[in-house]
Structure 1
């Protein structure tokens, strides 16, 4: 039975993440449609009927800063899905790290929505985006296209116990070092240590999904640090909405 898909992000007052989520919704719909075309070709070549295959229903919701709670947004999306004949909803948290929002807040809202809907429709909460190993490959491709001697993986950071562990693990896979915007070790401290060790070409990978206020501030800081240290600093773009990222999300919902 086909599913409808709801992508859940944090939410932002900056319009750019919202626009990027809209792009991601369209890209996921396109990716799903391509997968469906492959299934159609298989069914047409067999004795199975294709009448039960529906075009994908994909939309977005936000955990915070919306006019409705996430549970209410899920309810509204589920009602729309039901009118189109869907009986399952796949919810994907579009988050890079397993913080409180992923572990507690979103699951709690899903439970509330499921209780409200009863047995009319089944809501499946999928793993958050950051669990997909393909994210590391996306970052590695960025590094390949920018020839820097050293790399820093810059994340937001949290004081929550264990919050840095996933970032450290990804940095290790990329042969980079980790740094954080909100907690130590800071980007400035990491750059200073590398410059002191003789590194003059340093790449900085922002481990953020979309451009926003923080990435703007990072850009300004990198310009200041480059002037201060005299090293060549190259700041890449955030991960961004792309067909490749949509493919990773599709992979998560299809597992």
Structure 2
């Protein structure tokens, strides 16, 4: 069996997530089996964006498939598979509706010579919680807020709530209630004076900049509170291992 892997993110006008995606793809390349070492692995692990891209996702998938499985790649022609890994943290509309629809369009255009397999989304991996726990353990604080983006899809935030409960923190959402400010007010009212915020996002970008600005405003509003802002997940070998694990499920 010959497989290639396409990592799909939301997409952004900010260059930082795009750069981080390329770095992450390189780290996933390191997970490839030894029998693929002789091939140019950059053609076997690619990146695509659902939004903010000149091409719709289904066309990006087709283009990557051509690059990975074209005649010049010299890959085995039998049982060619393209595995799509959604790098999303919540099972929102993008994960449950938009990406499957784009994959179906790509499969229709490509035909049956290449089988496109949609893998589980990143946020479904049980070990993702361990990465967050490491960040929490590295910073001293009385209380933590796990700040996720949020989703309009009903029930999609249950995974965040469950993760927050398991980590012993409270959840808040950037794009919906309960908001960061409301959670901070609750914690301050409960007597906490050291509050840390963990952005449940893949990479630094426009939203994490906005979160940082919001925290500066909270510092003015609650001058007696010491606020700390952790980093988003970022491109790391540990994250690449989780992504690779999802391709085998």
Structure 2: distance between partners of 1:3 and 1:111 = 18
How many matched pairs?
A: 240
| 8 Å Cα contact 1:204/1:236 also seen in 2 | yes
Match of 1:105 in 2: 98
Match of 1:248 in 2: 242
Instruction: Give 4+ residue runs of structure 1 displaced > 3 Å after superposition.
Output: 50-56
Q: Give, in angstroms, the shift of residue 219 of structure 1.
A: 0.4
| 8 Å Cα contact 1:2/1:53 also seen in 2 | no
Alignment of 1:117-128 (within 5 A): 117-128=110-121
| 8 Å Cα contact 2:93/2:152 also seen in 1 | no
Structure 1: distance between partners of 2:124 and 2:37 = 32
1:235 corresponds to 2:229: yes
Secondary structure, counterpart of 1:103 in structure 2: helix
Secondary structure, counterpart of 2:2 in structure 1: coil
Select the residue among 201, 209, 233 that pairs with 2:202: 209
Structure 2: distance between partners of 1:101 and 1:175 = 28
Secondary structure, counterpart of 2:150 in structure 1: coil
Structure 2 gap ranges (5+): none
Select the residue among 78, 81, 90 that pairs with 2:65: 78
Match of 1:135 in 2: 128
1:62 corresponds to 2:56: no
Match of 2:9 in 1: 9
Structure 1 gap ranges (5+): 38-49
Match of 1:46 in 2: none
Structure 1: distance between partners of 2:26 and 2:94 = 24
Superposed CA RMSD: 1.7
Q: Deviations over 1:200-227 (max 9, x none)?
A: 1111111111111111011011122123
Structure 1: distance between partners of 2:19 and 2:112 = 33
Q: Deviations over 1:176-195 (max 9, x none)?
A: 01111121111111111111
Structure 1 range deviating more: 179-188 or 77-86: 77-86
Secondary structure, counterpart of 2:83 in structure 1: strand
| 8 Å Cα contact 2:143/2:169 also seen in 1 | yes
| 8 Å Cα contact 1:2/1:54 also seen in 2 | no
Secondary structure, counterpart of 1:172 in structure 2: helix
Alignment of 1:217-228 (within 5 A): 217-228=210-221
